[in-house]
Amino acid sequence: MYTFRKATEEEMSCLEKNGFSKLCSVYGLDCTDEKFALFFGKLITLFGEPYSTTDDYEDMYSYWVVAEDGQNKIYLEVYHGASGAAVGGKPFGISRKQEKIYTQAAGELIAFIESAEPSDYEWEGIYEDIPVNVKYAIKDGKAFIEYEYPAESEEDYE
């Protein structure tokens, strides 16, 4: 069983120098914008403001979380990328045994996040692939999602 905390500034400066890969998507094929919006609100509840945010849907936020179980200290990145909410942090070139430890910690972290109540927030950005302006908001535990197509491309989507 792991405990989780937000990485310190000192830990963050070391992490930025390493290469990491994705471990898992949070929702896999069962992804929806409502779930993504709620997940971000739950992260805010548990870990405060993210390490970074942008107005790019494919790089919405990033948190570095430390998972500890008394024997292992594992650094995991929780982020919203091109495939939605995901967990990464597995260093390149680790053994299968080590990878299992990271995968277990990532699974426990997702369960921990899912058990939280979401905080209210509002995020606005753009999903460049379509393109569409996106707004995610949580108010009183409920997700609100809005899409707005840029005026010059509205006719392309009618």
pLDDT for the residue 26: 94
Q: Please name the amino acid found at residue 9.
A: E
Distances in whole angstroms, Cα of residue 36 to Cα of each of 33, 91, 109: 5, 25, 16
Q: Which helix (H) or strand (E) holds 102?
A: helix 96-114
* pTM of the predicted structure, to 2 decimals: 0.89
Confidence of residue 96 (pLDDT cuts 50, 70, 90): confident
Question: Is residue 2 predicted with pLDDT exceeding 70?
Answer: yes
The pLDDT of residue 1 is: 93
pLDDT digits (tens, 9 = 90+) for 117-150: 999 999 999 999 889 999 999 999 999 999 999 7
Quick: pLDDT tens for 27-40. 988 889 999 999 99
pLDDT at residue 17 tops 70: no
Give the domains, in start order, of the chain with CATH numbers.
Answer: 3-117 (3.30.530)
Q: What percent of the chain has pLDDT over 90?
A: 69
Around Cβ 23, how many Cβ atoms within 10 Å?
20
Residue 115's pLDDT is 97
